[in-house]
């Protein structure tokens, strides 16, 4: 007969072997968790219906990571119910519940409820016996799909892995159009910053996925954007798509964000603003639409400085960003920096920009947030305050944080250019600093 210590060891080993959010290496900073939580809320329940179970599962894990076990249990319960409704099968059980029961096993274990944890483990084992993977030695395609969808919400590297998992799930179970669509989204999002043009083979695959899932207007917008980068004229198609997007429920899945980006770049900046305002007229209280509209105004102010910007446009941008910051109290860092940038670029209130940065610099930030703030503030000091030495100091601060990010690489690149030009009295100090980084 096993001792209590042996039983605990066996239970822990079984938990570690599970496939779920607790074993997928999703331990991120608090600020990252809060941003993902807000992004999941912006999907909504109607537009993200086919992924509702996955959304609730991830929400549950995020609430657990943030220290709210009651919220975690509530979302895991919602996930189970969502899967049962969406699958609409004769039985209430299926392989899509493996991750959910595994999450509950971990949650009960962390709360000291060993019997309940063991009961969930037995559920998982029963499901895996009843619904074995079509490929021996591989996970069930439902598990691959949920793991892939979850990883898509994190970094670029996670999106590459997500694309691989979706590819495997689709090969095992090719009739799930949502998986094919999300696989394409993972591929496009993983490579969208690496090259301006989309490869012809990826463009062809995007078209196939779009045709198989014609109601997914998010993918339709990305497809038009990819066509535009390949120098195709998409203006009329974009306008036709806009009419379809506007009548859909408000959601980050509706396609409004990539559509507005498409308008700003390939149609007209002013038409993009009109489109965003038209969406807000239909849904004046939707925070996600306010954020999308704010970005349009910011880009109009920053990218078209040769064209006069009316004061009313600047005031509208400021008003929207203030609202967005209040509506996203836990994930508004980028919006605060955007507001500071608008203040500085428009000469509306340069002191207000300084005040925003001062508050950010005095706040408690994780490494990546600090890199972003230091990088933007360094550019602000150079462009608007004409304080080149302090600007260099903050680029050094961003670069000194040993965390891979775009902002660290950007600050290092700027420092290298200053060093190579050899016109600044701090060039020697910069050279020593960069040498110490061992790049």
Q: pLDDT per residue over 156-177, tens digit each?
A: 778 889 999 999 999 999 999 9
Residue 242 φ/ψ, nearest 5 degrees: -60, -40
> If we measure between CA atoms, which residue out of 305, 308, 370 comes closest to residue 341?
305
- Residue 413 exposure: Cα atoms within 13 Å on the Cβ side: 8
Q: The tokens of 183 are what?
A: 């696989």
Q: The tokens of 13 are what?
A: 């080993």
Topology of domain 4-131 in CATH is 1.25.40
Q: What is the DSSP letter of 254?
A: S
> If we measure between CA atoms, which residue out of 215, 208, 211 comes closest to residue 187?
208
The domains of the chain are located at 4-131, 275-364, 368-439
> If we measure between CA atoms, which residue out of 212, 228, 245 comes closest to residue 47?
245
**Separation CA 227–CA 321 (nearest Å):** 31
> How do residues 100-125 score in pLDDT, each as one tens digit?
999 999 999 999 999 999 999 999 99
Kindly report the number of other CB atoms within 10 A of residue 91's CB atom. Answer: 8
| Max intra-chain CA distance, the chain | 82
pTM of this structure? 0.92
**Separation CA 90–CA 97 (nearest Å):** 15
Per-residue pLDDT of the chain (439 residues; tens, 9 = 90+): 667 777 888 899 999 999 999 999 987 888 899 999 999 999 988 877 889 999 999 999 999 999 999 999 999 999 999 998 888 665 678 999 999 999 999 999 999 999 999 999 999 999 999 999 999 999 999 999 999 999 999 877 788 899 999 999 999 999 999 999 999 999 988 776 555 677 888 899 999 999 999 999 999 999 999 999 988 999 999 999 999 999 999 999 999 999 999 999 999 999 999 999 999 999 999 999 999 999 999 999 998 666 777 889 999 999 999 999 999 999 999 999 999 999 998 877 779 999 999 999 999 999 999 999 999 999 999 999 999 999 999 999 999 999 889 999 999 999 999 999 988 899 999 999 999 997 5
CB 190 within 8 Å of CB 152: no
């Amino acid at each position: 007969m096993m001792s209590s210590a042996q039983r605990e060891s066996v239970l822990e080993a079984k938990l570690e072997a599970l496939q779920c959010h607790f074993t997928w290496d999703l331990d991120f900073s608090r600020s990252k968790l809060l941003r993902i939580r807000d992004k999941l809320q912006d999907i909504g329940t109607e537009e993200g219906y086919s992924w509702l179970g996955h959304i609730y599962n991830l929400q549950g894990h995020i609430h657990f990571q943030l220290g709210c076990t009651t919220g975690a249990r509530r979302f895991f319960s919602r996930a189970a119910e969502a899967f049962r409704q969406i699958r609409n099968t004769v039985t209430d059980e299926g392989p899509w519940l493996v991750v959910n029961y595994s999450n509950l096993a971990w949650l009960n274990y962390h709360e000291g409820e060993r019997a309940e944890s063991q009961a969930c483990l037995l559920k998982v084992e029963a499901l895996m016996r009843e619904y074995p993977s079509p490929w021996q030695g591989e996970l069930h395609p439902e598990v691959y799909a949920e793991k892939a969808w979850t990883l898509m919400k994190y970094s670029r590297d996670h999106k590459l892995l997500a694309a691989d998992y979706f590819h495997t799930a689709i090969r095992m179970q090719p009739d799930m159009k949502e998986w094919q669509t999300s696989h394409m989204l993972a591929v496009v999002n993983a490579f969208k910053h690496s090259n301006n043009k989309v490869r012809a083979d990826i463009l062809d695959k995007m078209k196939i996925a779009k045709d198989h899932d014609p109601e997914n207007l998010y993918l339709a917008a990305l497809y038009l954007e990819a066509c535009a980068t390949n120098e195709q004229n998409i203006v009329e198609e974009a306008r036709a798509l806009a009419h379809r997007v506007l009548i859909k429920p408000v959601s980050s899945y509706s396609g409004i964000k990539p559509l507005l980006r498409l308008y700003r770049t390939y149609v007209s900046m002013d038409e993009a603003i009109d489109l965003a305002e038209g969406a807000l007229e239909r849904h004046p209280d939707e925070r996600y639409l306010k954020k999308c509209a704010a970005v349009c105004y910011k880009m109009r102010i920053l990218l078209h400085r040769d064209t006069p910007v009316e004061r009313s446009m600047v005031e509208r941008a400021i008003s929207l960003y203030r609202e967005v910051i209040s509506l996203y109290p836990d994930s508004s860092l980028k919006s605060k920096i955007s507001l500071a940038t608008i203040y500085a670029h428009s000469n509306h209130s340069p002191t207000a920009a300084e005040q925003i940065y001062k508050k950010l610099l005095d706040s408690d930030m994780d490494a990546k947030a600090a890199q972003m703030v230091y990088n933007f503030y360094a550019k602000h000091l150079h462009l608007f305050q004409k304080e080149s030495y302090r600007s260099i100091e903050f680029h050094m601060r961003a670069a000194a944080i040993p965390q891979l990010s775009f902002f660290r690489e950007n600050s290092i690149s700027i420092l290298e250019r200053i060093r190579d030009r050899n016109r600044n009295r701090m060039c020697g100090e910069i050279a020593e600093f960069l040498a110490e980084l061992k790049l």
